[in-house]
Amino acid sequence: MKLRRPPKLRSKGRIARRLGAVRCTGCAEALLVFEDVEKIRCARCDRDVPVPRALRDDVDFLVRLDFDPDAEAIRAITAQTRARHHSPEAPRIFLLLLALLGALLMAYALPISSRGQWGIASSFALGFVLTLLPLGFTAQWLQTAYDTRAIRRALRRVLDAPSSCPRCTKDIQQLPSGAAGPNLPGIFRCPGCKRMLLRIEGLIVEHGDAKERAERLASRAGALLEGESWLEQRRMSLQDLLVLLLVGAALLGLFALILLYER
Ligand SMILES: [Zn+2]
Ligand SMILES: [Zn+2]
């Protein structure tokens, strides 16, 4: 089944800026400059690399961007996950059997008014509905949890991808999510091909207008999610089936109690 509604995932509310990037004099990796500093250290080769005066004096350096790259990335990854993810459904026959048991028990327990034909039939219907509704609700809730987990996993998969320039495939400094210091989303000029790139952690695409950004983020996220087998989880886990069984058992127990009380 396709996702019905997106899980509650919000942008981190980080401020995106025009960043700087300098080529490491040792390993040639592109190092990102998030603040106005004279030099930065390359984590890969442990070398101090000077930040050129021209970059720091540029009026655009560290200027705020008028869009939210975090939100755009989350939107793209969520949509790409939705297109690929099929959350497992509860087996219908299992739910129907439980509902049928509930109906039989209720028909036996609670013949409405006198023990007429219609009394038994309406108790049967009541038992069926009273069992199926909570079971269906639980099944839906479990399914939403699968969807949420899939999107969280997809976000990590895409945002932690090894970063490189999509044009010149030059390595761009990889900062693990949650790395110390600023790790802001933003745009910067690739030291290799001089194109303007947009970076949201490991997700790096060519910068452009809103429509171009949306297309590029979607295509990059889609490429990174291609072939991820966990997106195609067909069966509900045993644990979740057990949850459904417990809900069913609780309902049947309740009807049995009514039966005892009525006698
Ligand atoms: Zn280096
Ligand atoms: Zn490049």
What mean pLDDT is reported for the chain? 88
Q: Which ligand is nearest the CA of 24, by number?
A: 1
Does residue 158 sit within a domain?
A: yes
Does residue 137 sit within a domain?
A: yes
Does residue 59 sit within a domain?
A: no
Between the CA of 199 and the centroid of ligand 2 the distance, in Å, is 12
Does residue 52 sit within a domain?
A: no
Does residue 102 sit within a domain?
A: yes
Residues 6+ apart with CB under 8 A from 130: 102, 106, 251
The low-confidence residues of the chain, meaning pLDDT below 50, are 1-8
pLDDT of residue 252: 92
Does residue 13 sit within a domain?
A: no
pLDDT tens digits, residue range 7-54? 445 556 688 999 999 999 999 999 999 999 999 999 889 999 999 999
Between the CA of 44 and the centroid of ligand 1 the distance, in Å, is 5
Does residue 112 sit within a domain?
A: yes
Q: Considering its fold, how many domains does the chain have in total? A: 1
pLDDT of residue 8: 45
Range of the domain at 143: 67-165+179-262
pLDDT of residue 3: 44
Q: Which ligand is nearest the CA of 42, by number?
A: 1
Between the CA of 59 and the centroid of ligand 2 the distance, in Å, is 22
Does residue 154 sit within a domain?
A: yes
Between the CA of 208 and the centroid of ligand 2 the distance, in Å, is 15
pLDDT of residue 179: 61
pLDDT of residue 4: 44
Q: Which ligand is nearest the CA of 25, by number?
A: 1
